[in-house]
Amino acid sequence: MGTELGAIQYDTHTLEDYEVYDNQNHLLSNGIFSIAFDSNNLPWIGTYGGGLSHLNGGQWSHYNTPQGLNDAFVYDIEFNKNVLWLATWSGVNKVKGNPGIRKNWESFTVESTNGGLIDDWVYAVEIEADDKIWFGTESGISSFQNGKWSSFDHNDGLGAPYEMVKSDNQGIMSLFRGQHHSASPSIPNLQTSDYRPNYVVSMLLDKKNRLWIGTWGGGLSMLDTHTQKFRNFTTKDGLPGNFILSLEPDKSGGLWIGTNNGLSRFDGKSFQNFSAINGLKSKFIFSIEATSDHSLWVGGNNSLIRLVLDPETGLPLSLN
């Protein structure tokens, strides 16, 4: 589990068996942006200012700008066979093979791609089965395949129109203060803006090759990667909030959505929302993780809860 005070590894069957990794214990930064596991089930940790860390058999390795990392802020980590893709705040890195070898690192920035990558502030990476790579940035989304780039933004349909979300977004930024944005710089460059439809905070590619995109105040966008057409969902469609902070599929085909105003599950037709009345401890849902035992772990402001899902319906049986 990633927090602003380090990463926590613990046995979910007991509260006593855990270890904290922070800048006093192996990591180079306490701020944890992302945790991903490779094909050997070994963890890779993207940090705020401490680069990329990897644990292998009790041995830690750290990778930062001297090794080839674009910068020390690693927001997302994705694996594609033996290739590691990293979203940073200075573009994208591709690492093929041993990351300890400098020549295995490749950098993609707005400048180096001649504008193919739409923005250097990159927050999300998703990979299609045919090796097309999608990047979510502050200025929209970009795709890369066989040396060719394509980009999409609000002018192409990303994010709902302002008039559709204006009334529901009013006053939201004041609620973020002390919850995530103003207390932590992990979502920068927003100041007091309650509508940035090109600002991609979260992203998920589903089994139907639809790219779900969480925007800052512009609701949830879905891009059909075949037709390249967008569909947008907002509070007017049943979402609890228009700031989409996290996305996660479950084993029953549902899509879980973390927002500024609670948790939601989309079954393809409608949204079912969950809030404090259902046992949530936070309005702001920053991370969601579904596990093989039909648990859904939900991270909010100063809280972590476990939902036990019905294997048939995908809906919660209980909250822990």
pLDDT in tens, 189-209: 655 689 999 999 999 999 999
Domain co-membership, 27 together with 94: yes
Cβ distance 306 to 202 under 8 Å?
Answer: no
pLDDT given for residue 183 in this prediction: 37
H or E segment to which residue 168 belongs: helix 162-169
Q: What is the pTM of this model?
A: 0.93
**How confident is residue 279, by pLDDT bands cut at 50, 70 and 90?**
confident
pLDDT of 180 strictly over 50: no
Give the integer Cα–Cα distance in Å for 72 and 61.
14
Q: What is the pLDDT of residues 156-173, one digit of tens each?
A: 999 999 999 999 998 888
Give yes or no: residues 183 and 300 share one domain: yes
Residue 131 has pLDDT above 90, yes or no: yes
For residue 13, give both structure tokens.
């069957």
Dump pLDDT digits (tens) for 81-121: 889 999 999 999 999 999 999 999 999 999 999 999 999 99
Domain boundary among 95, 116, 146: 146
**In this predicted structure, what is the pLDDT of residue 268?**
95
241/107 same-domain check: no
The CATH number assigned to the domain holding 21 equals 2.130.10.10
Q: Domain residues for 110?
A: 1-146
Last residue of a domain, one of 146, 162, 183: 146
Q: Are 91 and 106 in contact (CB under 8 A)?
A: no
Query: How many domains does one find in the chain?
Result: 2
* Claim to verify: residue 92 and residue 169 sit in the same structural domain: no
Mean pLDDT rounded to a whole number for the chain: 92
> Do 201 and 78 reside in the same domain of the chain?
no
Range scoring the smallest mean pLDDT among 60-64, 129-133, 176-180, 283-287: 176-180
67/180 same-domain check: no
pLDDT of residue 319: 64
Residue labelled with tokens 């694996």: 79
Judge whether 102 and 141 are in contact, CB under 8 Å: no
C-beta neighbour count of 45 within 10 angstroms: 27
Same structural domain, 99 and 204? no
144: its two tokens: 């890369």
With a cut of 90, say whether residue 187 has pLDDT above it.
Answer: no
Taking CB atoms within 8 Å and a gap of at least 24, the contacts of 220-225 are 220/244, 220/257, 221/157, 221/158, 221/159, 221/160, 223/141, 223/152, 223/158, 225/128, 225/132
Exposed, middle or buried, 118 (CB in 10 Å: 0-12/13-18/19+)? buried
Highest mean pLDDT among 11-15, 238-242, 281-285: 238-242
